[in-house]
Amino acid sequence: MKDTGQYLEGIRTELGHAQAAERRNGGPPGATPRPLIELQHVYLAFDQPVLVDLSMAVYEGETLLVLGESGQGKSTILKLILRLLAPDAGTVSIFGHEITHLSFEEVLEFRRKIGMVFQNAALFDSLTVFDNVAYPLRENTDLSEREIARVVREKLEFVDLDPERDMAKLPAELSGGMRKRVGVARAIATDPEVILYDEPTAGLDPLAVQTITDLIKKLQREKGVTSVLVTHDLRAGFRVASRVNLLREGHIVFRGTPEEMVASNDPYVRAFLNAS
Amino acid sequence: MADGIVARVDERMREAALGVYEYFALAWRALRFSFSRPFYWRDLLVQMDRLGAGSIPIVLITGVFSGAVLALQSSIELSAYGATSFLGSLVGDSMVQEIGPVLTGLGIAGRAGSGIAAEIGSMRITEQIDALQTFGTDPIRKLVTPRLLACLIMVPAATIIMDVIGIVGGLMIATSSGMPADQFLRSMWSTFAYGGFLFGYFPKDFVPGIVKPIAFGGVIAITGSYYGLAAAGGAESVGAATTRTVVVASVLIFALDYFLAQLLMVLFGPQAAM
Ligand SMILES: Nc1ncnc2c1ncn2[C@@H]1O[C@H](COP(=O)(O)OP(=O)(O)O)[C@@H](O)[C@H]1O
Ligand SMILES: [Mg+2]
């Protein structure tokens, strides 16, 4: 375990980032009470119960950080929001529409406004970088190939990739950090209002972590997107989060700002912070 | 204790039944998607190309040797009865109706079936299939339908090549042991002609030779896709999916071979399904 003083200093540095992020986001969620995404009393079990009476909401313009140890169901929450999974009980709503009892196809219309950055980028490994980013445009828009090429270039430049150099590469030829950035470019290809990130910094070297967190902040700042970040990497999370939910044993055990989390006396919160 | 075993067997049976149901549901959906839009033409062409290119070497090598050994063994047997003149008919009929379809099916199950399972399985565990869905793509439509159609087209095509190569292999053995080539071919053709014709010119003997590989193609594509889609967890689950695909597809090919032979015999008479 780390020396407490040293650890607190680290957290404070991250908090500086978090406060700045919050100011950019236009204040705490109280100012904009409309939840874009809402899960209410959700239960979901695979072989074992994973989510147990989970309720959470994501508000317009915020960057919600969902923290939790591995295997606690963070990815599962994102899959519920995308309607890749359906809850056993409880409701999931996106953009004011309850999607719990809709089929995957019926949800598509609302879902188009949500972009997802998968844990290991989940790039289509048989397609080039260009075709990966173009994929959602070809599937979901009527853009001509010329317009698609323009959008793909723009998105690749946004994530600091050089279209000329990287466009024709296959995912296998890219580093982990580059793959993740292509994943972001693909997720934002259709200009979603909400972006979900699954462990965006896992497995990356410190420099690449910096690049990705900068990118998440740039998306908040320049595109005003609402973001949900699920991760066990508290440090990277605090750099961008305006609000934190801590997931444990299937439901949220702490809700608050990063500052409130650091100030909390809850034993599990303290243990989680100390272990990070 | 006994109760536990009963419950466990019960559970197994239910899972197996569910598995069979899902297998057919997958086949049905994949087939239905071939007749509706969007249809992924490019994926179909890529799969056909891969299947063809990947299978040709196996088909050529297996074909020539199995035709040759068939001729070799049969000529010994036939000569014991002074019936070597039937060599062509025996090699031709066995190759077209039985050996061509089954060996092509097994070869492609090992080569392409395992490939389908590996490819779809690794897409599953790296969340590429989830990614497809988030973009509104039905993974069955995008991944399974093109592979199914490619197999339905290419396995029969490869079987025809196998038949021809096998007959050439048999012919080589026959001529090398002194039988004139035209006697071999004439004997073969007379058997086909004796079996009768469909629509005036399609030998009934060729019916199982076409029907079987179509069925085998379906089995290969659906089995590979089924186990690929069912992969969950790490890389080892992809390995398990490929092994299962080869084993299950091979067993199904042998079983179907028998049942189709029976069925075709009922439909077209014994000539058509030796
Ligand atoms: N498709 C699935 N089938 C069975 N179990 C699953 C499936 N997906 C997730 N799980 C289980 O659910 C739990 C939560 O998984 P996940 O949401 O991936 O956790 P996290 O992202 O927090 O690490 C884990 O125990 C995992 O093994
Ligand atoms: Mg996860």
pLDDT tens profile A94-149:
998 999 888 877 888 888 899 999 999 999 999 999 999 999 999 999 999 999 99
Residue position matching structure tokens 């073969």: B188
Please indicate whether, in this complex, the C-beta atoms of B130 and A120 are within 8 angstroms of each other.
no
The whole-number average pLDDT for the span A231-255 is: 92
Pocket test of ligand 1: the residue of A44, A75, A232, A247 to mutate, having most ligand atoms within 8 Å of its CB, is A75
Least confident segment among B111-125, B165-179, B241-255: B165-179
Distance A219 CA to ligand 2 centre (A): 22
| B273 confidence band (pLDDT: 50, 70, 90) | very low
Could you tell me if the CB of A74 is within 6 A of ligand 1?
A: yes
Q: Within its chain, how far is the Cα of B194 from the centroid? A: 27
The whole-number average pLDDT for the span B236-259 is: 96
- Of the two residues B10 and B145, the one the predictor is more confident about is B145
How close, in Å, is residue B73 to chain A by CA atoms?
47
Pocket test of ligand 1: the residue of A50, A54, A70 to mutate, having most ligand atoms within 8 Å of its CB, is A50
Could you tell me if the CB of A50 is within 6 A of ligand 1?
A: yes
Please indicate whether, in this complex, the C-beta atoms of A116 and B134 are within 8 angstroms of each other.
yes
How close, in Å, is residue B87 to chain A by CA atoms?
49
Q: Are the beta carbons of A153 and A97 closer than 8 angstroms?
A: no
Could you tell me if the CB of A73 is within 6 A of ligand 1?
A: yes
Q: What is the pLDDT of residue A202?
A: 87
Asked whether residue A177 is assigned to any structural domain, the reply reads no
Could you tell me if the CB of A70 is within 6 A of ligand 1?
A: yes
Asked whether residue A171 is assigned to any structural domain, the reply reads no
- Of the two residues A14 and A98, the one the predictor is more confident about is A98
Residues in A touching B137 (Cβ below 8 Å) = 139
Q: Based on the structure, what is the number of domains in chain A?
A: 1
Distance B187 CA to ligand 2 centre (A): 67
* Predicted confidence (pLDDT) per residue in A189-208, tens digit: 999 999 999 999 988 888 88
**Residues, Cβ < 5 Å to ion ligand 2:** A 75
* Predicted confidence (pLDDT) per residue in A50-68, tens digit: 999 999 999 999 999 999 9
Q: What is the pLDDT of residue A3?
A: 44
Q: What is the pLDDT of residue B62?
A: 94
CA distance A177 to B47: 31
How many other CB atoms sit within 10 Å of the CB of residue A154? 14
CA distance A256 to B183: 91
**Is A108 part of the contact surface with chain B (CB cutoff 8 Å)?**
yes
Alpha-carbon torsion angle B113, B119, B124, B128, nearest 10: -150
Region for A122 from its dihedrals, namely left if φ exceeds 0, alpha if ψ lies in -120 to 50, beta otherwise: left
- Which residue range is the domain that position A20 belongs to? 4-113+192-275
Q: What is the CATH number for A101?
A: 3.40.50.300
Q: Whose CA is nearest to atom 8 of ligand 1?
A: A76
| A33 confidence band (pLDDT: 50, 70, 90) | low
Largest distance between two CA atoms of chain B: 72
Residue B159 pLDDT > 90, yes or no? Answer: yes
Residue B232, SS3?
coil
Nearest atom (ligand 1) to Cα of A72: 22
Q: Are the beta carbons of A233 and A202 closer than 8 angstroms?
A: yes
Please indicate whether, in this complex, the C-beta atoms of A139 and B130 are within 8 angstroms of each other.
no
What residues contact A51, with CB distance under 8 A and at least 6 apart? Answer: A42, A43, A44, A73, A76, A77, A80, A87, A250, A251
Asked whether residue A107 is assigned to any structural domain, the reply reads yes
* Predicted confidence (pLDDT) per residue in B163-210, tens digit: 999 999 999 999 998 888 888 898 888 888 888 888 777 888 888 999
CA distance A21 to A29: 13
Q: Which long-range contacts (CB under 8 A, 24 or more apart) does A132-139 make?
A: A132/A171, A132/A182, A132/A186, A133/A182, A133/A185, A133/A186, A133/A189, A134/A189, A135/A186, A135/A189, A135/B135, A136/A186, A136/A189, A136/A190, A136/B135, A137/A189, A137/A190, A139/B135, A139/B136, A139/B137
Asked whether residue A249 is assigned to any structural domain, the reply reads yes
Q: What is the pLDDT of residue B85?
A: 82
Could you tell me if the CB of A46 is within 6 A of ligand 1?
A: yes
Please indicate whether, in this complex, the C-beta atoms of A139 and B137 are within 8 angstroms of each other.
yes
| B214 confidence band (pLDDT: 50, 70, 90) | very high
Residue A246, SS3?
strand
Residues of B numbered 110-139 whose beta carbons fall under 8 angstroms of chain A's beta carbons: which are they?
A: 122-123, 126-128, 130-137
State pTM to two decimals.
0.87
Please indicate whether, in this complex, the C-beta atoms of B128 and A108 are within 8 angstroms of each other.
no
Best mutation target, A94, A107, A108, to test chain B (most B CBs within 10 A): A108
How close, in Å, is residue A43 to chain B by CA atoms?
21
How close, in Å, is residue B136 to chain A by CA atoms?
6
Provide ipTM, 2 decimals: 0.85
| A19 confidence band (pLDDT: 50, 70, 90) | low
Residue A243, SS3?
strand
The strand pairing partners of A92, in sequence order, are A39
Q: What is the pLDDT of residue B196?
A: 81
Show the 3-state SS of A212-237. HHHHHHHHHHHHCCEEEEEECCHHHH
Please indicate whether, in this complex, the C-beta atoms of B127 and A118 are within 8 angstroms of each other.
yes
| A14 confidence band (pLDDT: 50, 70, 90) | low
Return the closest-CA partner of residue A239 out of A261, A212, A264. Answer: A212
Please indicate whether, in this complex, the C-beta atoms of A120 and B126 are within 8 angstroms of each other.
yes
Residue B18, SS3?
helix
For residue B29, what are the CA distances in angstroms to A276, B26, B161? 47, 5, 30
